[in-house]
Amino acid sequence: MGVRKILSMALFSSLLGLTAVDVCLADESIEVVRSEGVLQVGEPDKQATDARVKRLTGNRYVFSTGANGRAVVRVGSAGFVVVERNSTLEVDRTGGAANLFRQVSGMIYYAMNKVQRSMHKVQIKTSTAVIGVRGTRFVVVDEEARKEIGMRKGEISVTSPSDEYEIHRRQVNDEFDAYKKEARDAIAREKQAFEAYRAETAREFIEYKREFTLAADRMVSFDGNKVTEGALNEKTRQDMQSLESFGAEWIGAVHD
């Protein structure tokens, strides 16, 4: 790009009150930036297109990976998603931006930009939740035997698509686990104090809400409308690290 063109874009942006980030995020097309193994890309209810066709400008697309397939997809100004093996994701940009995602199945890592004034809010729908994104990184698993959300960074809102959730919080146990790591030698003499603390706060373990927030380094698992919240477990953390490694080149560019 020539110097004159760059200067013209900068002047145009300043006149409109836009930042450099806003200009860079103006392109709302969808693009497969990396893939391996079996990846099918197509419009809903239509035959799948060649997965090697990278730049997509239609309104709705479905991405499906096979048993050996993985993909990193740039979803317009929203950010990037990493689609794990045996997973299906529908991206909808009918409103002019790729801001509605339907996770049909499998495991998907979302690295979403913080919402700028020129951007649309992002929403992710699964069989168990409607997730409102506020500029963050997290993984969603929607499999027959495993339904969960694990947070790496930022915060999301989680809303039930039907009745209230029965939320079981495991904060006390998580705090005690962390405490044990820091003071293993003092466990015996402090155990009595902990038992008193647990009894005092036990009534806070269960609450009923249609919506809740989930912050960094926390996760929830779903069993129908029963939701169990706690610290990230090792399995989910390892899954996130694997997906982050596969998409590292692009995830690093996310403004969250």
Q: pLDDT 10s per residue in the chain (256 long)?
A: 443 443 344 433 343 343 333 434 457 889 999 999 999 998 876 766 655 566 787 888 999 999 999 999 999 889 999 999 999 999 998 877 888 999 999 999 999 998 766 556 889 999 999 999 977 999 999 999 999 999 999 999 999 999 999 999 865 555 556 556 566 666 666 777 777 666 655 545 788 999 999 999 999 999 999 999 998 999 999 999 999 999 999 999 898 7
Residue type, 104: V
C-alpha 21/C-alpha 119 separation (Å) is 11
Pair (88, 189) in one structural domain: no
Structure tokens at 82: 């990493």
Overall domain count for the chain: 2
Residue 16 inside a domain? The answer is: no
What CA–CA distances, in Å, run from 68 to 85, 89, 90? 6, 16, 19
Pair (158, 212) in one structural domain: yes
Residue 112 inside a domain? The answer is: yes
Pair (238, 127) in one structural domain: yes
User: Which pLDDT belongs to residue 112?
Assistant: 94
On the 0-12 / 13-18 / 19+ scale of CB atoms within 10 A, 220 is: buried
User: Which pLDDT belongs to residue 175?
Assistant: 56
User: Which pLDDT belongs to residue 117?
Assistant: 60
Pair (36, 113) in one structural domain: yes
Residue 12 inside a domain? The answer is: no
Pair (119, 183) in one structural domain: no
User: Which pLDDT belongs to residue 14?
Assistant: 40
C-alpha 142/C-alpha 107 separation (Å) is 6
Residue 8 inside a domain? The answer is: no
Residue 29 inside a domain? The answer is: yes
Specify the CATH number for the domain of residue 127: 2.60.120.1440
Pair (67, 101) in one structural domain: yes
Pair (87, 109) in one structural domain: yes
Pair (128, 235) in one structural domain: yes
Domain of 213 in residue numbering reads as 25-164+208-222+229-251
Residue 213 inside a domain? The answer is: yes
User: Which pLDDT belongs to residue 150?
Assistant: 97
C-alpha 178/C-alpha 31 separation (Å) is 41
Pair (37, 134) in one structural domain: yes
Pair (147, 192) in one structural domain: no
User: Which pLDDT belongs to residue 171?
Assistant: 57
Pair (138, 244) in one structural domain: yes
Residue 195 inside a domain? The answer is: yes
Residue 19 inside a domain? The answer is: no
Pair (146, 176) in one structural domain: no
User: Which pLDDT belongs to residue 151?
Assistant: 96
